[in-house]
Amino acid sequence: MADVDTNEAVWKSEETVKRWASEQAVREKKRAEQIAFIAALLPFEQDERFTLLDLGAGTGMASRGILEFYTQAEAVLADFSPAMMGEGAKAMAPYEGRYRYVEFDMRSSSWPADIPAQLDAAVTSQCVHHLPDERKQTLFREILARLKPGGWYINFDPVKAADPNVEHVWQRVNDRFDPGMAYRRTHRGHQEHAQWENHVRYMIDLERQLGFFREAGFEAADVYWKQLDYVIYGGRKPRP
């Protein structure tokens, strides 16, 4: 993409990734319910064999939850950060033989040959909001094209409030759940501030994002879970 994207500087930084990995256990405990919900949304039997694509996989939080639930499933984890994939390989060790990493920059429409052309399901977790709107739209269409008929795609992501009053409520309630959040918000170091700016740079409201998703051609499209600024929406590729 033509514009300079700070996403690469943030997520290819070994220092940032090591700090991210050090907080992994706390983050995964906080998101365990949502990952279990994503697994339950997928329309497979627990002992069924299928191939899942986890885009922007990071250290594999979503894949681990899904592979734990579906004991015969296999996952292709795609990420663009060698540092993140290195940390992910450590976390994914219990699933050796059931997963593989593929290097893929989601900002590009040039999909690597190592990602199967036909997939049973796809997930994204906390990464789509890093993409400009135009790329969100093309990515959704590309995912749909690679799914088998009836295949599901589920996205777990933060969204921006269209109304500043709603944004204020979200912040107030989140601060109640995590009293340290207000302090961290006003005491960010230089690197933490850069990471936050990158986090919100392309974030948009739910209605626009869901509109892109439906326009791509998904059916059964819905917001299946929502809590304040975090949502899980998904849908399936129509059958002929």
The answer on pLDDT for 1 being more than 60 is: no
Measured CA to CA, the distance from residue 200 to residue 78 in angstroms comes to 22
Measured CA to CA, the distance from residue 15 to residue 153 in angstroms comes to 32
Report pLDDT digits (tens) over 169-222. 999 999 999 888 888 888 777 777 677 677 788 999 999 999 999 999 999 999
- The domain ranges of the chain are 6-236
CA–chain centroid gap for 118, Å, is 20
The answer on pLDDT for 97 being more than 90 is: yes
Rg of the chain over CA atoms, in angstroms? 17
Measured CA to CA, the distance from residue 39 to residue 62 in angstroms comes to 9
CA torsion 170-138-133-17 (nearest 10°) is 60
pLDDT at 2: 41
DSSP for 81-126 reads: -HHHHHHHHHHTGGGTTSEEEEE--TT-S---TTS-SSEEEEEEES
Report pLDDT digits (tens) over 64-76. 999 999 999 999 9
6-236 carries CATH number 3.40.50.150: yes
Span 154-167, average pLDDT: 97
pLDDT at 213: 98
What residues have CB less than 8 Å from 112, skipping those under 6 apart? 78, 102, 103, 104
The per-residue pLDDT of the chain, averaged, comes to 90
pTM: 0.88
Query: pLDDT-based confidence at 130, cuts 50/70/90?
Result: very high
Structure tokens at 82: 């060698």
